[in-house]
Amino acid sequence: MQKIDEKLNNVTARVRTAAEKAGRDPAQVALIAVSKTRPAEALEQAYRAGQRRFGENYLQEALDKQAALAHLPDLEWHFIGPIQSNKTRAIAEHFAWVHSVDREKIARRLSDQRPASEPPLQICLQVNLDDEPSKAGISLEQLPELARAVNEMPAVTLRGLMAIPAPQTDFNDQRASFARLREAMESLNARGLTLDTLSMGMSADLEAAVAEGATQVRVGTDIFGPREPAQP
Ligand SMILES: *Cc1c(COP(=O)(O)O)cnc(C)c1O
């Protein structure tokens, strides 16, 4: 089996190739290693290979790994999972970025609970592009109002948008979904916001996301291998 450092190199090369094809600077696309369900040792291997940004979905699991990896400098933690109200304080205290904000109440709590000693929490709003009932995210219709509200909050910085489109195998179909998220950001910026982040693209569709302007891709499987099925 390929080792984590080799897989990480492959993913980095895919991002670079996709950026170059799109005439973009590869340095404008940050790779977030999605490490949910992986043991701290796997993250440390990725760290040794140069990876610094990690994305986690489950709070307690993330806190345990942060404690286990406290000896490693310069780690940047991104929270990318669903957020319950009773988890906002720990998220505000222990992460640099949150990609999965889809309600004003959650954003307000994150802002209120962000420690004054820390820089503002960097926020992306999660958009449910296809109004899939089973999925988290604000609708495109309600996005402008939420964006305006979050933009006013003092201890968070609204940076951009995140989405997980319905899975598609065709490259052009994948692109079309990501284009809608890019257009949503452009339309918010045309109304006076200054968003600069598109968090989109995973193992199966990162090339299409980079082609449409992704500035952060979130990749798990193709760095760490297949995940165990979720616990019942
Ligand atoms: C699990 C997850 C990913 C990574 O998905 P892979 O297909 O393993 O690359 C990215 N984003 C979010 C929000 C996730 O939950």
What is residue 128's three-state secondary structure?
A: coil
Q: What are the DSSP calls for 26-95, one per residue? A: GGGSEEEEE-TT--HHHHHHHHHTT--EEEES-HHHHHHHHHHTTTSTT-EEEE-S---GGGHHHHHHH-
- Residue 230 has what pLDDT? 64
Residue 209's Cα: distance from chain center in Å? 13
pLDDT, tens digit, for every residue of 2-40?
Answer: 899 999 999 999 999 999 999 999 999 999 999 999 999
Ligand 1 pocket (Cβ < 6 Å) reads: 34, 36, 57, 80, 164, 202-204, 218-222
Predicted local confidence at residue 176, as pLDDT? 98
Centroid of ligand 1 to alpha carbon of 34 (angstroms): 6
Q: Please report the beta strands in the chain, taking only residues with DSSP state E, as ranges in sequence order.
A: 30-34, 53-56, 76-79, 97-101, 121-126, 156-162, 197-199, 216-219
Q: Name all domains of the chain by residue range, CATH numbers in brackets.
A: 4-224 (3.20.20.10)
Average pLDDT for 140-169: 98
Going from the Cα of 120 to the center of ligand 1, the distance in angstroms, rounded, reads 25
Average pLDDT of the chain is 97
The pLDDT tens digits of the residues spanning 208-232 come to 999 999 999 999 999 999 998 765 5
Predicted TM-score of the model (pTM): 0.97
State the pLDDT confidence band at 138, using cuts at 50, 70 and 90. Answer: very high
Give residue 232 CA to ligand 1 midpoint distance, Å. Answer: 19
Indicate the top mutation candidate among 218, 222, 228 to test ligand 1's pocket, ranked by most ligand atoms within 8 A of CB.
218
Nearest residue to 45 via CA among 231, 225, 229: 225
Three-state secondary structure call for residue 11: helix
Give distance in angstroms: CA of 192 to centre of ligand 1.
31
Q: Tokens 């890019």 belong to which residue?
A: 182
- The predicted-structure confidence for 71-94, as pLDDT tens digits, reads as follows 999 999 999 999 999 999 999 999
Give the per-residue pLDDT at 2. Answer: 82
Mean pLDDT confidence for 100-107: 98
Which of ligand 1's atoms lies nearest the C-alpha of 202? 9
Of 114, 136, 118, residue with least CA distance to 127: 136
Distance CA 107, CA 98 (A): 10
Atom of ligand 1 nearest to the CA of 162: 13
Q: Can you say how many angstroms the Cα of residue 169 is from the centroid of all Cα atoms in its chain?
A: 21
Tell me the mean pLDDT in the region 99-111: 98
